[in-house]
Amino acid sequence: MTNITPRWLLVKKVPQLSLLILGAMCASGSLSTHAVAPSLQDTVYLQQGWDHKTRQAISFTSFGSRIIPYDWFIALEQADSSALFRDTSHMAALGFIVTSPDEFNPDGLPVGIVRDADKKNGDYVGLTCAACHTGQVKINGKRIRIDGGQALIDFTGFENALLASLKATVVNDDKYSRFAQQVIAAAPTSGLTPELLKTQVKSRIAELEKHYAVNATDVAYGHGRLDAFGQIFNAIAVEALGIPENIHSPNAPTSYPVLWDASHLNVVQWNASAPNKEPGPLFQNAITALAVYGTVTVPKKKLTYQSSIRINNLGDIQRDFYQLSAPRWPADIADELDATKMAKGKILYDQHCLECHTLVDPADKKRKLTAVLTHYKEVGTDPLMVENFINHKVKSGVLEGDKSMVLFGDKLPAETSPLDLVTHTAAGALLNQPWQTIKAIFKEYRSNEAPPEQTIYNSYKARPINGIWASAPYLHNGSVPTIYDLLLPAAQRPVSFYVGNIELDLVKVGHISSEAPNTSFFDTSLRGNSNAGHEYGTQLNEEERWDLVEYVKSL
């Protein structure tokens, strides 16, 4: 998982903690044919190493995210109508993948929106890694699910729509009456009254408004992007520690990374900041849970921290992602690949791409992959994500003087990197449930190559690009719409386009990027949105460029 996606997966190399706990992450083998499974849209599922049970379990297993009570979400209407918020057309407009009800998802929620069951505190609705790390494309009228792929959800659009619906509910008497009647009926022995419920809803509105204010940014994320690092840093350094002066705008959104092969790599995250040897993966996924509405309490002078993280579920999710493989080009739905052009394209790939983007043998289920790191100034792509990460400092507050890894490590200074506070907090949350942590590590453990020795995360990571045809747009910040455009000199790439259309451009390879309903405008002139850099293979002539595109489709 993430990398859900995490990406959302930050961890320092902490080999000492493996004496206490262990863990690993995403991908595995499969071939190229596909099977059609019935769903709301007669979705086509490619063979990526998962059966339908595994796919549904990944899609609807909670890792501890809690946005609002579950019964509220089921009853909540859209702000401007009496249609339910969870109506499939509304959720699809926000970029979510809608599905039919089944045993894993009895209420027919979209992929990645899940029920977090809690007998003590009541059930909540939240997100899980599949929300951001499940893709879909449309080819010749057929909708194809991409397991572990890049989602195109509009994260802030979803947040703003949810808040607007809650606000409309408490001020509109008819809307509130329908909402309260259903919520109270769902819990007849709770003693809940309409007046008490309204007080609870208003309280949650205030909490969400405060949370959104902390994470305000001038550059819209749009479909398919999130500044996960910025938001998790604020979640811990600002909200959990109660230090408003630690606020830093999460203004460097990145695309949700694909998760096939991720658990086989030695490092993950766009800036290679997360080592992928145990206990790194469990840390990454615990932090992911905290990043998307997980809860954690960080009291002064406590060694461990209570949290909502479903640690046992993290072990299951990570174990299953290790079996995932990249989707192969669906030649029986799309165009057949041109063997002559592919052969010429492979020669060009070996000359211009292979040094950084190594090839993968998906049949090797225990493959060990090593990412290639390139200094961010050398690769020349937008620097904001890396510069925010390496330059940001925050106050430690009540954690000042505590050991960096709770039970060992250097003492945290008065001012430190937010990564230090996040890893400390994750360690405290994991140690609060030691038996669950140990079990999760044994479930998910896989042997990977050692991560590089680094203390400054000033590089961008190049990974194998198998399945790249299904993971547009490109570069870490999603600033280039198609593979063909990426092979152009930066000055010739599109300066603006639209994101959110799942229709695949079979020629240039990427999503159709013209204006359409429920898409986001992407302006590369804005800070954090630059499409510069990565000028590798950009001096090819047109024929060579198309040959390389054809070969890349086959990976």
pLDDT in tens, 274-299: 999 989 999 999 999 999 999 999 99
State how far the Cα of 330 lies from the Cα of 76, in Å rounded to an integer: 39
pLDDT for residue 96: 97
pLDDT for residue 455: 85
Residue 398 CB-half CA count within 13 A: 15
Strands 113-116 and 124-127: antiparallel
Q: How many CB atoms lie within 10 A of CB 216?
A: 11
State how far the Cα of 480 lies from the Cα of 477, in Å rounded to an integer: 9
Q: How many CB atoms lie within 10 A of CB 401?
A: 11
Stretch (H or E) spanning 414: none
pLDDT for residue 14: 36
pLDDT for residue 121: 85
Classify 259 as helix, strand or coil.
coil
φ/ψ (deg, to 5) at 543: -60, -45
Classify 388 as helix, strand or coil.
helix
pLDDT, tens only, 482-519: 999 999 999 999 999 999 999 999 999 999 999 999 99
* 481-to-150, 204, 506, 511, 525 alpha-carbon distances in Å: 13, 38, 13, 7, 15
pLDDT for residue 8: 28
pLDDT for residue 236: 97
State how far the Cα of 523 lies from the Cα of 150, in Å rounded to an integer: 20
Q: Is 240 within 8 Å of 300 (Cβ atoms)?
A: no
pLDDT for residue 19: 31
Here the tokens at position 112 are 């990645």
State how far the Cα of 321 lies from the Cα of 54, in Å rounded to an integer: 9
State how far the Cα of 88 lies from the Cα of 551, in Å rounded to an integer: 37
Q: Is 288 within 8 Å of 3 (Cβ atoms)?
A: yes
Intervals of the chain under pLDDT 70: 1-41
pTM for the model stands at 0.91
pLDDT for residue 40: 55
pLDDT for residue 120: 86
pLDDT for residue 402: 95
Q: How many CB atoms lie within 10 A of CB 178?
A: 15
